[in-house]
Structure 1
Amino acid sequence: MHESTITARQQQGSFKESAQETTEKVEPARKKNGEKIVIGFSQRRVAGSDWYTNLIRGAEAEAKKHDVELIVLDAQGDVAKQVSGVEDLIAQGVDAVIMNPQDPSGIIPATNKLAQKNIPLVAVNSNLDAKANPVSFVSDDPRDTGYKAGWELAKAASEKFGDRVIKAAMISGYPKELVSQYRRNGMISGWTDFMLEKYGKSNLELVAERFGNWVPDKALPEMQDIATSHPDLQVVFCMSDVMLPGIFTALNNTGLSDKTIIGSIDGTKEAIRKISDPKSGLVVTVSNDPRVQGADAVKIAINVVQGEKIPSLHYITNPVINRENAEKMYDPGSSY
């Protein structure tokens, strides 16, 4: 049913182009018996995150384009609620399920029931435990995205601080979450590789890693606590642009706004605008467009229902956005 190949969007990861395509005439996607395709989307949480909102928006736009019914359920950050939600989708007779899991292994009871009913599972954004056995996983490449952010942040730190020891902190998503671990490892690797090539030594003193749960109101107190304990902090690794407002507020509250530089991930419109402002402290973000992820997950779910070959792993493009190209990359009309 599927093949073990890694694919990526070779074109620029622009949702604007994808959105324009929705005006083109597209034949409705149907099952082999001619019936309408019904896809369930189990989303880990929506409230508080523009990224999650746009993930759903991208999926809904793609489903509408192909005249596919998309049933979206919000687990509200509760694993038990996500499990029961998947059971509801099964009861409604969906043909496939797209899942952004709250917990990679905690959701296994639900994925087991999908397997028992032969309902294909497409994971999106967050990795699942291998036991869940999704037919495909749609995401950015979290290690590579993290690596690019770490490399660019190290480059900016080298220009600002030279080769002396740099005190840094990291604001991650959730503890033990695979995507957080992969991004963390990528960021540290990118930083280290740059510094080894530049100076032949590692100069990073990572004083803390805290977890902002991918939302600004959780990131704020964690960042503020770190900044208060380490008033000589120089660098912040941020795993998502969504958490940046909390980080900016915390650094401003502790008087570190003009003393620290920040590297992040996601490529939101607001983050790109901030990069263009030298006073913001944000020096890089790496694109991870949720609308593209949502749209591509729906495409793959349609294909698997129709019996077509699909990639077991599908990465979207993740271009770097820094002060050299931020003005060009900024789209004031973007919903994201």
Structure 2
Amino acid sequence: MRRRQFLLAALASAGAWRWAAAANRKFAVTVVVKSLRNQFFTIMLDGARKHHADHAAEYQLRLEGLQSEGDVKAQVAMLQRAIDRRDDALIVAPADSRAVMPLLLKAIAQGMLVVNIDNKLDERVLAHENVNIPFVGPSNFSGARKVGDYVLAALKPGSKVGIIEGLPQAINAKSRSDGFRESIRIAGMELAGMRWGDWETDKGYQAALSLLDAVPDLSALLCGNDNMAIGAVKAVTERHRTGKVLIGGYDNIPAAAPYIASGAIYATADQHPALQMQYALDLVLQALSKHVGQAELQSIVQTPVELIKRTAT
């Protein structure tokens, strides 16, 4: 209780400083994403640049990201630098849904607005701390259901299916796997195994090889992102299972386009990363300009996700 009272007092004090300072300068907004190497996030950052070009008179923009999606320590350092600069707002796609929370609470206590994008923060921690950090993004569960339902509709009932999941500590990885599991259950298929590919092509390849070798009659691989799906395509090709094992992905990154066109990736989901970022920046700018505090921010801003499949020729 004492901690929460301190947080509320700090918010009031820091908020007064922020509004006074903002009257004399552009708002300072920092975006921190999970990866600079994953095309999904480069598209997201391009969306931020486009938004900033249209609103350059209103805010300054700083973009940062990780070289490795699991490098939580580096992301914590980026968040700390934003706090030290006393930025007005912070938009973060967390590498770990729990580990970054102390830094985000610190930012809020200082008076910064904090918005969560792409990978949802752990709701149990948010509830325990009694703090509102808006999430801007789609339902990963629903997006994965769309992919899973489409892929499995092409299989015979009772077919064996494997799942390749992203990082274990990422909430969106678990949500996508849960969506795939629901598709498997509804379709009357068998979940034959699951491996982790950590969002990366090489690790997705290794995970797919492991499943293919463990389950010789595997009929489908449902992958938590397109990088891992591309790795799965390589594994399926090496094991001479092309056409016998259907592959589902997620993200619709440019690198996946030729695989989708050829049918090597049977379907994926597009969650429009540039649009997600634009929604998040709109939320931040409106809140800053109207002096809306963290607690009053809209808690969820739903963004679209759509099924992408091979176009008939």
Which category of TM-score, normalised to the shorter sequence, fits these structures?
A: 0.7 to 0.9
Larger helix percent: 2
- Partner residue of 1:60? 49
What is the distance in 1 between the residues matched to 2:52 and 2:78? Answer: 20
- From 225, 236, 242, give the equivalent of 2:221: 236
Residue 148 (structure 1) shift? 1.1
- Partner residue of 1:263? 248
- Partner residue of 2:136? 138
Whose RCO is larger (CA < 8 A, sep 6+)?
1
What is the distance in 1 between the residues matched to 2:181 and 2:203? Answer: 23
Matched pairs, number: 280
- Partner residue of 2:272? 289
Residue 256 (structure 1) shift? 1.3
Amino acid at match of 2:241: L
Structure 1 residue 74 corresponds to structure 2 residue 65 = yes
Amino acid at match of 1:73: E
Contact 2:229 2:247 in 1 (8 A): no
- Partner residue of 2:23? 33
- From 197, 209, 221, give the equivalent of 2:194: 209
Residue 258 (structure 1) shift? 2.3
- Partner residue of 1:11? none
Residues 325-336 of structure 1 aligned to structure 2 (within 5 Å) = 326=311
Contact 1:75 1:82 in 2 (8 A): yes
Structure 1 residue 104 corresponds to structure 2 residue 89 = no
Amino acid at match of 2:26: K
Residue 191 (structure 1) shift? 3.6
- Partner residue of 1:43? 33
1:250-272 CA distance string (max 9 Å, x none): 11111112211112222234545
Residue 321 (structure 1) shift? 2.1
Report SS of the residue matched to 2:278: helix
Contact 2:229 2:248 in 1 (8 A): no
- Runs of 4+ aligned residues of structure 1 deviating over 6 Å after TM superposition are none
TM-score normalised by L of structure 2? 0.82
Report SS of the residue matched to 2:63: strand
Amino acid at match of 1:244: A
1:69-127 CA distance string (max 9 Å, x none): 11122244322222221111111121000011011111122112112202111000001
1:161-193 CA distance string (max 9 Å, x none): x33x21111111111421111111112213433
Extract unaligned runs of 5+ from structure 2.
Answer: 1-20
Residues 96-175 of structure 1 aligned to structure 2 (within 5 Å) = 96-130=89-123, 131-132=125-126, 133-157=131-155, 162-163=156-157, 165-175=158-168
What is the distance in 2 between the residues matched to 1:171 and 1:53? Answer: 23
Amino acid at match of 2:162: A
Extract unaligned runs of 5+ from structure 1.
Answer: 1-30, 196-201, 329-336
Q: Aligned-residue CA RMSD in angstroms? A: 2.1
What is the distance in 2 between the residues matched to 1:123 and 1:251? Answer: 36
What is the distance in 2 between the residues matched to 1:57 and 1:300? Answer: 18
Percent identity of equivalent pairs: 22
What is the distance in 2 between the residues matched to 1:321 and 1:111? Answer: 35
Amino acid at match of 1:319: E
> Which deviates further from its counterpart, 300-309 or 134-143?
300-309
Amino acid at match of 1:180: A
Contact 1:147 1:191 in 2 (8 A): no
Contact 2:222 2:248 in 1 (8 A): yes
Contact 1:272 1:285 in 2 (8 A): no
Amino acid at match of 1:177: A
Report SS of the residue matched to 1:71: strand
What is the distance in 2 between the residues matched to 1:327 and 1:32? Answer: 53
1:186-211 CA distance string (max 9 Å, x none): 12213433x2xxxxxx2x22222111
TM-score normalised by L of structure 1? 0.77
- Partner residue of 2:300? 313
Report SS of the residue matched to 2:83: helix
What is the distance in 2 between the residues matched to 1:322 and 1:64? Answer: 33
